Structure 1
Amino acid sequence: MAGHIITLFMWGYQEYYRIHVQVLVRNVLEKIGAPAEAEVLLVGARSPSSKNINSVCIEPEKGKWELSLFEGLLDSIEFNYQNHHLQNMFFNDAPSMQDKPEWMRRSSVQTSISKALEAFDTKNNVTSFCGEARRINDYYVTPVIQIPNSTFVQFPPLPPKPVNDAQVRHGFRSLIHAAVYTVLDEATEELHKPEPGRYTYDRMRDAEEIVRIAAKNFLHTAGLAIQQHYMYPNFFDTLNLVSSLMYEGVKGIGQLILVDPDNDAVEFLARFAEPVPFNEPRWVRKVLQMATTGVGVIANSRHIYGLGRLNEQHDAGAQNAFNVAFIDHYHWELHCGNHALIRSHYAVPKLPQEPFDKMSFLAHYKRLFSSSTLEEGMNMWSLLSTQSRQEHGSMIVVAEDAASESQRLSKQGTCIEPTRLTELLLRSASGIDGTILLDPSGLCHAIGIILDGEATEQCTPSRGSRYNSGVRYVQSNGPRRLAIVVSDDRTIDIIPRVRSLVSRSKIERHIATLEAASIENYHDSRNWLDDHRFYINEDQVARINSAISRLDAAPREDFVLHFATSLFEVNPEMEDSYLTD
């Protein structure tokens, strides 16, 4: 590795390996709909047989993690090794007995590193996930993925509860947990191969495949919780298949209650004489047709036992019953009580979430229509939620000049007396072609309107006529307008687009990190700021550009690739309403 000296050296490609794992986990989080803010750390604990001068190595060695975090790590590993639960375990086969010391060593390294990071996690408000340790040269190397705790505030996991050994291995508190541990499994496998990090791009699975594996693993959580003798079926693919099937031309909409059929909380309306097996998907789909409002299909992960429901005394916190809601064709969600856990749409797993952040939408609405009240913004958010749940496409346009526009376009739709648009009226009015026209206060002035306007650069042939007509109308010069477009494929667009709110303190933290960075560790802060250029004010632009100029001018070794960063500029549309805290 010419041109780069590693002081805390474990193997030659440790930096490339860490960067690839970090890129992979960020891509995985992005694909499931979570913030892609994970960071990766490698910790190497010196093998007892080694005389290497460094007892502990970390990668990156000049990052936010101090080597002092792992003071006393080797002593901790030895203590855990001597007190390991496998010490008194005897296996019937000689190979397992031969491998047992290595298993205990790896486990002790992982446990000790996890313990050593607890203080860092608390101070920095992150959660560390430690992968399995593997021996490379003189060190037992453990990959660590750190996730900001704010991610788990946005997507709360199931509360922790006592679990047995099988659940520790296969049950997860959230899809995020399953995804992170799936990446760590992949990272551990790479450590088994020669020169990990050198050929990583050809040897590790891509993010899309990781997400599918994580979803399959996460679906085991429900089976482990409700079934004493769980057989690990591929329940994720089973639910996708069932949701894709039609019954006499009708798509399946109903609920499947995953629970022990002998649980006292189950109230059967009809119990089948012979359970219906899940390996008969068309039969399962036929049974699902009987699940109406308030009635569900009672099942565990292998069989359907009848029709029924959970009684009012059932405690969702016990995590012994889960609900699969079939929302639409090829579209389902898994819940535990009121806790939404995973959504699958056309077999693509994601975290359940609103199509837009509520606070960002309300700020966007107030920014466009300054005279509107919070109550009017909340009313529009409720209408957006109702519109997004409908089974057909529709469009709402909010316009400052709705009253005059309804008269101008009266030959292209139906004008009505100004009436507050309720959810009931929305469901009725959106049943016909055309646009519903509102003013910012929520009064409806026309329905079924055909919009006009000239084509703009924002129009695209990849989208349908409804979306493009919304773009043309909203982008026209004149009074402020907003369009909410729901396409037939359930794609939801807001025009002009809603920008997420960003934390002032987070911007400041990344700027300070960039200002203190060297050419070896500036990439993360630079990349984050580059992705958030819109939010940077004039004073911050000057500080960032000064840091970039210093880094660009720093001496570098020959033959090392360097990608220059274009200087920052203030965006004229930026204002304080885009910032939080």
Structure 2
Amino acid sequence: MSDPSPSQTMWGFQHHFRISLDSAADRALDQIGAILSPDAFLVGFPSDGVDPAEVRLEAREGLARRFTAADFAEVSIDAKRRYEESPVHDLRFPSEEMHEARHEYFRDTARAAAVEAAMQQAPAGQGRTFFVGQSAPVGDFEVHPVLSVDSENIDALPRLETSSIDGVPLTVSLAHGIISELLRTATHALLAAKPPRTISPLEDDVPTDAIRRSANHLVFSTAMIAGETLAKGLFDSFEALASTAYEGRAGAGSVILASDGHPHVDVAVRLRVPISVRERLQFRKLLEISGPDLSLLVDGTTIYGLGGVSPEYDGSTEDVFRFSIIEQGIWMMSHHGSPLLRVANGHPQLPRPRMSPSLFVDSMRRVFASVSDDNIRSIWRLAQTAVGQSKGTMLVVTTAAAQEAKRLAPQALAIEPQTIDSALLRSLTKIDGAVLLTPDGTCHAVGVILDGIATGVGDPGRGARYNSAVRYTAASSAPCLIVIVSEDGMIDVHPELAPRVRPEDVEQALYDLETIGGAEDVNLESFYAARERLRVFAFYLSESQCNRANQVVARVEQQRFQQTGMRLAVVPFAPDPRMNESFFSA
């Protein structure tokens, strides 16, 4: 199988269609924080079935050359075997028309599975996981949309282990759901437009729609596992619960999703008449009763009481889920202590990973040049103690703690400087506000309300605590690091320092861009892919490296303009004033 050529063409716009699917996948997965490096493909089979071995492939340059005809030689035989061995093979339907339509779908599903297996097993597919959608007729071919992602990264994402209930497929993770939704969108586009040019006339809406539908079905999947098949509005119910205030107070509390009568759910209070989860005001009112040891109990459609999960539940049955309302507009879904989904102000995301001690140590050393290992361990222990609190807090670590305690005195409780241990911190953080410390762990004030300038750098999905930390660090002239502990037990630090990279990796990405852009006949897709790879290292580029990158981009864009008459707006590379040698690893 060679690079796409007239003999490989299925229809004139296949290249544009694949690029639109690739772009939508990249944007959608990036929005939820999943770095999966997606690649899109189109695999076509002749509609007449005369030569089932004649497979056509549309792929990014380089990937098409690595897959060969031999990789797909057994697809038709494998698909036939899968269909014949499947339980659906012997299913009968009321009418001949329905029978043929359903079995056509079953055969197509079997072929999609065979394509997935063939690409997975091919040498070109090593290290990648493939997902294949239903086919659609385009011209003389039946075309399957395909997405592949990095195997190691997708395997590391939080997910459900239960993938189906009574033959009904479930959404096992936000990322898996997005991929399924995009493939479904692509199949519909192949069916709808003749000839199909992109996966949607409104391409900017595709990633957002796919994310929302995936999150909705992920929540519905948990209800299915818990035994409720009518809980399609559950996602919207939790959205309303998190965003609705009660007597002026923002929501906070927890909900347990489990079947009524589950052997490992202890009911402390049972409602005489269950309340629908769609009763927003009643749902929000009951949330006020919940707390660390008492959760609302829902079965997917109704609230049947308050209680908790017994210690005997070991998670193996995967049928008890917890929904935590963290603060106004922010909620999280988890199973047996493992977060699966986080939604902030209507935007579904992957749960943020817990900060590792090594990353915390690196941040402390880079912000405070002379800090000792003992001091770092002391601050880390305090942060770990704060995680165990029922509400979040902030530890403001700054060399100017003494001066700041005086300056902020009207909005802070200044104390005689002293080192504090975990027991004392637990008491001091019972009041609202941050704790003000020097890097050696000496406390100067508690209940601190931070000030600062509006920077335009905040994140509306991260809540008030995070954004006040952003404003304060932006205004601070002294070395400062803020440890942010949220109600969901996550630890963040601000400023969020870019990770250390090797300077040779930065130079290699720039060299690749120059090499591809310097060719006589520039492949624009390869060039733009190289430019995006360099964007990953944009923070680390020096002024001279930025100039080199901008020169080659300008040259290629001028060639494009001469060939097509179209000019694209390009954001030039520029050196970041925050960059210094500390961001390079040895």
| TM-score over 0.5 for the pair | yes
Q: Counterpart in 1 of 2:28?
A: 28
Range moving further from structure 2, 496-505 or 148-157: 496-505
Q: Which residue of 2 aligns with 1:145?
A: 147
Shift of 1:528: 1.7
Residues 262-341 of structure 1: pairs in structure 2 closer than 5 A: 262-341=261-340
Amino acid at match of 2:539: F
Match of 2:209 in 1: 209
CA distance, structure 2, for counterparts of residue 126 and residue 459 of structure 1:
38
Residue 534 of structure 2 corresponds to 529
Deviation at 1:235, TM superposition (A): 0.5
Task: Report the CA distance between 1:320 and its aligned residue.
Answer: 1.3
2:97 to 95, 98, 102: 95
After TM superposition, the structure 1 stretch with the greater mean CA deviation from structure 2, 204-213 or 177-186, is 204-213
Aligned match of 2:519: none
The answer to which of 401-410 and 439-448 deviates more is 401-410
Could you list the per-position Cα deviations for residues 92-123 of structure 1 after superposition, in whole angstroms to 9, with x for gaps in the alignment? 12321342453244223211111012235996
Kept in 2, the 8 Å contact 1:383–1:423? The answer is: no
Counterpart in the other structure of 1:224: 224
Which residue in 2 is equivalent to 1:573?
579
Matches within 5 A, 1:13-24: 13-24=13-24
Contact between 1:134 and 1:141, CA under 8 Å: does it hold in 2? yes
Q: How does 1:129-528 map to 2 (within 5 A)?
A: 129-152=131-154, 155-159=157-161, 163-166=165-168, 168=169, 171-194=170-193, 195-198=195-198, 200-202=200-202, 205-227=205-227, 230-353=229-352, 359-374=358-373, 376-377=375-376, 379-380=378-379, 397-400=396-399, 402=401, 414=414, 416-420=416-420, 425=425, 428=428, 431=431, 437-446=436-445, 470-471=472-473, 473-474=475-476, 476=477, 480-482=479-481, 496-501=495-500, 519=523, 520-528=525-533
Deviations 1:467-498 (A, max 9, x none): 68635642x3xx6344568999x999966442
Q: Are the equivalent residues in 1 in contact too, given 2:178–2:210 (CA < 8 A)?
A: yes
Q: Secondary structure at the match of 1:27?
A: helix
Query: CA, structure 1 residues 224+569, in 2 after alignment: closer, same or farther (shift >3 Å)?
Result: same
Specify whether residues 524 and 377 from structure 1 end up closer, same or farther in structure 2 by C-alpha distance, changes over 3 A only.
farther
Following the alignment from structure 2 to structure 1, what is the Cα–Cα distance between the partners of residues 283 and 459?
Answer: 37
Contact conserved, 1:395 with 1:485, CA < 8 A, in 2? Answer: yes
CA positional deviation for 1:573: 3.0
User: How much does 1:157 deviate?
Assistant: 1.7
CA contact (8 A) 1:247 1:285 kept: yes
Q: Is the 8 A contact 2:21 2:198 kept in 1?
A: no
Q: 1:248 to 1:174 in 2, by over 3 A?
A: same
Distance 1:203 1:45, change over 3 A: same
* 1:82 Cα deviation after fit: 5.2
One-letter amino acid of the counterpart of residue 24, structure 2: L
Q: Letter of the 1:143 partner, please give it.
A: P
Q: TM-score, normalised by structure 2?
A: 0.79
**Alpha-carbon distance between aligned partners in 2 of 1:285 and 1:412, rounded to the nearest angstrom:** 32
How big is each residue's C-alpha offset from its partner over 1:215-241, in whole Å with a ceiling of 9 and x where there is no partner? Answer: 1111111111111x6124211001222
CA distance in 2: counterparts of 1:409 and 1:315, whole angstroms = 48
Partner Cα distance (1:398, 1:99) in 2? 66
Higher deviation after alignment, 53-62 or 459-468: 459-468
Gap runs ≥5 in structure 2: 517-521
* Aligned CA distance change for structure 1 residues 514 and 31 (closer, same or farther; 3 Å): same
Q: Which letter does structure 1 place at the counterpart of 2:535?
A: D
Distance in 2 (CA, whole Å) between partners of 1:299 and 1:383 is 36
What CA deviation, in whole Å up to 9, does each residue of 1:482-541 have, x standing for no partner? 4568999x9999664422455889868866865775624232232121231234689999
The percent of aligned pairs where both chains have the same amino acid is 22
Where in structure 1 are there 5+ consecutive unaligned residues? none
Instruction: Kindly provide the CA deviation profile for residues 358-407 of structure 1, in whole angstroms up to 9, marking residues without a partner as x.
Output: 65453232112132245544554566678799999987543335457767
Matches within 5 A, 1:35-50: 35=35, 37-49=37-49
Asked whether the 8 Å contact 2:145–2:186 carries over to 1, the reply is yes
Instruction: Report Cα offsets for 1:219-274 as digits up to 9, x if no partner.
Output: 111111111x6124211001222333444554443322211222222222233343
- Counterpart pick for 1:119 among 118, 121, 139: 121
Distance 1:511 1:118, change over 3 A: farther
8 Å contact kept, 1:186–1:204: no
Q: SS of the residue aligned with 1:305?
A: strand
Q: Distance in 2 between matches of 1:254 and 1:89?
A: 47
In structure 2, the CA distance between the partners of 1:551 and 1:85, relative to structure 1 (3 Å rule), is: farther
What secondary structure, in the 3-state scheme, does the structure 2 residue paired with 1:10 have? coil
Whole-Å Cα distance in 2 between the matches of residues 526 and 574 of structure 1? 23
- Cα distance change on mapping 1:395 and 1:308 into 2, 3 Å: closer
Residue 558, structure 1, aligned to residue 560, structure 2: no
Question: What is the rounded CA distance, in whole Å, between the counterparts of 1:179 and 1:316 in structure 2?
Answer: 25
In the TM superposition, residue 51 of structure 1 has moved relative to its aligned partner by: 6.5
* Pair 574,137 (structure 1): closer, same or farther in 2 beyond 3 Å: farther
What secondary structure is seen at the aligned counterpart in 2 of 1:184? helix
Whole-Å Cα distance in 1 between the matches of residues 473 and 114 of structure 2? 56
Q: Letter of the 1:224 partner, please give it.
A: M
Tell me by how many angstroms 1:75 deviates.
Answer: 3.6
* Structure 2 residue identity aligned to 1:330: G
Query: How many residues of Structure 1 are paired with residues of Structure 2 in the alignment?
Result: 566
Instruction: String of CA shifts for 1:121-169, please: whole Å, max 9, x gaps.
Output: 9964332222222221222222222222343365322335674311x1x
- Larger deviation: 116-125 or 317-326? 116-125
More divergent stretch after superposition (74-83 vs 542-551): 542-551
CA contact (8 A) 2:366 2:582 kept: no
Which amino acid in 1 is paired with 2:320? A
Report which stretch shifted further, 494-503 or 27-36.
Answer: 494-503
SS at match of 2:254: strand
The answer as to whether partners of 2:322 and 2:334 remain within 8 angstroms in 1 is yes
Displacement of 1:187: 1.5
CA 448–568 in structure 1, closer or farther in 2 if over 3 Å, else same:
closer
The answer on whether the counterparts of 2:158 and 2:339 sit within 8 Å (CA) in structure 1 is no
The residue number in structure 1 matching 2:108 is 106
Q: For the Cα contact (< 8 Å) 2:294–2:308, is it kept in 1?
A: yes
State the distance in 1 between where 2:458 and 2:171 align.
42
